[in-house]
Amino acid sequence: MSTLSKYYKQSATYKILKAISAEAYDFLDTLGEIAKNGFITLGYLLTGQVSIKELIEQCSRFGVSSLPITLSIVGMTSIIVASQVASEMVKQGGGNFVGMMMTVLIVREVGAIMSGFAIISMIGSSLASELATMRVTEQIDALKVLKVDPIRYLFVPRVLSGILMMPVVVIIASIVGVLTGAVTTAMTTDLGYRAYFDSAWLGLYMKDLSVSLIKSLFFGGTIALISCACGYTASGGAKGVGLATTKAVVWSFVAIVIWDMIFAIAFFF
């Protein structure tokens, strides 16, 4: 029996099952840590235990520092879509609906989802690596020794800044996306700016704007929470910092896509 067990443990099947079980355990462990830290953070937020100084600093980091890359990504996405779609719609006699199509697309999806991707790449990874470095260098342990709650000190201002600033970033990015689409359409077709903006309001409703803003609240809070949680549980020195940052980015990407799907089904299905 022991011989069979020895050979089984050396087989590819055993190694695959062991890798799958390890990934499943890591998934559940990470999910549990995110949920636990999220509830603790929510408790501090609901009781108003927030450092205003830290909040302002994180809001500047989350909103202002991320704007250049966010606007670049949303603007270039708008150029790509407009350059490929506008001319075809004009050829098919749908020129009067180009502005509407671009505006609805950007407000509903492109502005929020591309801003989320940009925030994850720049701010989320930064938050994760920052907290992971604090963990492996025992700075978080030092906070506990000083009777400072790490969740309140590190999580609360970062998560709240994500919730507050993400809608602002999405609004600015959406405006830039719509304007970039108008310029691209005017350059690639005979459609003028007036025709573009006249049609922009045909299919855009307050529901679209409201859903986009609510969605961005969830995006910002989720990105900040996941990034902080992954960095907070890091271990293993420099390698652990890299793994925590990678995990934060991957989980954040997956999370906002899931949120986007939920909002799409709930409000537009």
According to the model, what pLDDT value does residue 8 have? 57
Q: With b meaning 16 or more CB within 10 Å and e meaning fewer, what string describes 27-61?
A: eeebeeebeebbeebeebbeeeebeeebbeebbeb
Q: d(Cα 262, Cα 260) in Å, to the nearest integer? A: 5
- Locate tokens 């190694």: which residue? 15
Q: d(Cα 82, Cα 196) in Å, to the nearest integer? A: 11
Q: Where are the domains of the chain?
A: 51-268
Residues 240, 142: contact at Cβ < 8 Å? no
Q: Which amino acid appears at position 264 of this protein?
A: A
According to the model, what pLDDT value does residue 7 have? 60
Which pair of structure tokens corresponds to residue 149? 């709650």
Per-10-residue mean pLDDT for the chain, 269 residues long? 62 73 78 88 89 90 87 92 86 82 90 92 92 91 89 92 94 93 87 84 85 94 93 86 91 93 89
According to the model, what pLDDT value does residue 192 have? 81
Q: How far is CA 163 from CA 55, 210, 214, in A?
A: 11, 15, 10
Q: How far is CA 210 from CA 33, 169, 221, in A?
A: 31, 15, 17
Which pair of structure tokens corresponds to residue 165? 């600033």
145-190 pLDDT tens trace: 888 899 999 999 999 999 999 999 999 999 999 999 999 988 888 8
